[in-house]
Structure 1
Amino acid sequence: MTERPPAIETMPDGTTLRHPVPSDHPRLQLALADWWGGQGGAVGAAQRRLLVPRLFLQHFADTSYVVERADRTLQAFLIGFLSQTDPDTAYIHFVGVCPEGQRNGLGSALYRRFFNAVGTLGRTRIRCITSPGNLDSIAYHTRMGFRMEPGDRLDQGVPVHLDYDGPGLDRVSFIREL
């Protein structure tokens, strides 16, 4: 087994935060299949797993995090990186919190840790996206200080970017200034 890096800090409920390593990939893949309550069935689980390939743990570990209990049970993760194109921007690619850990502050603690880390690296803006139907994510990002960017159309008051990730893959785009 690959040795895990040391904990960065203690999080809510006695969990610890650390940077991911490539050997975390199988655990993240299981979480991506299981933590969304069957949303989208087997196809949805497969699509989520494709969104977090091993390369994120190899090349963006310094701005990504995992939260785990002392027994190494994965509780949450955030995959984020610094924009290579815009020196003011960092991007949150994917975040997950285990169902039993939701609403206990883990997600917010991960976001704050990311904001602080990229802020010390000179980034002043955070971007991320979600699906238009993911109303919980839209509400969460709004509570975390993100604002929705204007889109191609409004869907129930939500600005949607049509075909953002390809045909039929509409997204809501968020931005937050630090």
Structure 2
Amino acid sequence: MGTVTTADPMLRPARSDDYDRIAAVVDDWWGRPVLRSLPRLFLDHFHPTSLIAETGDGLAGFLVGIVSASEPDRAYIHFVGVRPESRGRGLARTMYEHFFGIARDHGRRSVGAITSPVNEASIAFHRRMGFTVAGPRADYNGPGEDMMIFSRPL
């Protein structure tokens, strides 16, 4: 992991080849296996609306975002990660705000996201970011996979 610098992370659009860097750290960052929730196809097909945050020490965070093809006024944040040593410094907020601008540039008027009902930190973060929270919605991701649903106007 290296030493964490105090320099602000630089944001840039993601590239397909960023997937391997994310896949190498995401389970460690979460402290449990979560990589299966982020297949490679997300960065192969949605990298122009996704973000990478880097410092001199490497990957500090990422956001995988999508402008919906089926709902032309919606965008969706699929997955966000911040290196544990970089948390609490506003990086997730900065990435969200940057994605809101991307969504607006694509004519979107709202952003959605989901999380597990047990992810209290995510639920609290989304509330602080101005999202409404609904749920848990039973069986959202299949039998026994309840999810909390977030929505925020832009």
TM normalised by structure 2 equals 0.92
State the distance in 2 between where 1:70 and 1:95 align. Answer: 20
Partner residue of 2:51 out of 31, 44, 65 = 65
CA RMSD of aligned residues (A): 1.3
Equivalent of 1:78, from 53, 58, 63? Answer: 63
- Please give the alpha-carbon distance, in whole angstroms, between the structure 2 residues aligned to 1:49 and 1:141: 21
Paired AA for residue 44 in structure 2: Q
- Greater RCO between the two (CA within 8 Å, min separation 6)? 2
Alignment map for 1:107-146 (pairs within 5 Å): 107-146=92-131
One-letter code aligned to 1:89: R
* Residue correspondence of structure 1 range 99-178 to structure 2 within 5 A: 99-149=84-134, 159-178=135-154
Aligned to 2:3: none
Moved over 3 A (4+): none
Q: Which has the higher strand share?
A: 2
Instruction: Give the superposition deviation at 1:22.
Output: 2.1
* 1:33–1:49 contact (8 Å) kept in structure 2: yes
Is the contact between residue 132 and residue 171 of structure 1 (CA under 8 Å) also seen in structure 2? Answer: yes
TM-score with structure 1 setting the length: 0.80
Q: Structure 1, unaligned stretches of length 5 or more? A: 1-11, 40-44, 150-158
Structure 1 partner of 2:20? 26
- Residues matched between the structures, number: 149
